[in-house]
Amino acid sequence: MAWLCLVLAGLLEVAWAIGLKYTQGFTRPGPTAVVVALMAGSIWLLALAARTLPIGTAYAVWTGIGTVGAAALGILLFREPHDWPRLACIGLILLGIIGLRLAAGKAGAPGPTPG
């Protein structure tokens, strides 16, 4: 369940990152409200995932999903550069996400409980 929350958090991060383009520097109230709600949902799901997963793993995967997703959609939606060095680097980030998931094992290694 933690990994599902983490993937959903990452997808929401992609959505709010792309949404930033439509806020025009937070000057458009509608898109800004949507982006802020997506940000809150993303952080909340990350926090839920971090209850079980190590924070370093959760944060790295969360930002990695956001990075890969925002870069891919930037290429598709906004015609951002997509030369081979850029795509190779995005691929390395994706490999890092997969590697962290594999290293975490089936359910993820729980970290110490703060308290």
> Structural domain boundaries of the chain?
2-104
Q: 38-41: long-range contacts (C-beta < 8 A, 24 or more apart)?
A: 38/12, 39/12, 41/9, 41/12
Asked if the model's pLDDT at residue 93 lies above 50, the reply is: yes
DSSP string, 3-42: HHHHHHHHHHHHHHHHHHHHHTTTT-HHHHHHHHHHHHHH
**CA–CA separation, 42 and 61 (whole Å):** 13
Backbone angles phi, psi at 97, to 5 degrees: -60, -45
The model's pTM is: 0.83
The residue among 52 and 106 whose pLDDT is bigger is 52
Nearest to 86 by CA among 101, 97, 78, 74: 74
- List the structure tokens of 58: 């959760």
pLDDT of the residue at 106: 56
Which has the minimum average pLDDT: 2-6, 68-72, 91-95, 103-107?
A: 103-107
Asked if the model's pLDDT at residue 25 lies above 80, the reply is: yes
pLDDT of the residue at 11: 98
What is the rounded average pLDDT of the residues 40-64?
96
pLDDT of the residue at 104: 81
pLDDT of the residue at 108: 46
